[in-house]
Amino acid sequence: MEPLIVSGSLDSLGKIGQYIMSAGKEAGLEKKASYKLRLAVDEIATNIVTHGYDEAGLAGDISIKAEINEQNLTVYIEDTAIPYDPTQAETLTEETLHETLEKRPMGGLGVYLAKDSVDKFMYKRVGDRNRNILVVNRVG
């Protein structure tokens, strides 16, 4: 699929979601798998906008590229925000996930949901860009 490049703003999340759902359909994913992938991408994109751009006083774009092969659908999410590796982030555990909101630590839920929603989640720093790589295995 052709890449999608959007402004790094919350207003772009709808376009990103449509792109991901189209990629899931083209890859022949079941609807549940497509929605889980959309959730993962939405969580990562929201973190990029909120923490990588807005809180850092930066502006930039988000590039989304979907690649489909016989085994899987791979989504690449790239940005020029501050360096951040979500694979190294402290996320919720099954234990803390079931605690009351008052006892649960702040943050980490989005990254937990992203990691839990795909078959493989990777991060690379490429030059001045963050690259999040999400892989969903295709059925059959």
How many structural domains does the chain have? Answer: 1
CA distance 123 to 104: 26
| Residue 10 one-letter amino acid | L
pTM for the whole thing? 0.89
pLDDT at 112: 78
Domain range enclosing 64 = 4-137
pLDDT digits (tens), the chain, 140 positions: 999 999 999 999 999 999 999 999 999 999 999 999 999 999 999 999 999 999 999 999 999 999 999 999 999 999 999 999 998 876 666 666 666 666 655 556 677 788 889 999 999 999 999 999 999 999 75
Tell me which residue of 75, 92, 70, 85 sits closest to 129, measured CA to CA. Answer: 85
The domain that holds 63 is classified in CATH as 3.30.565.10
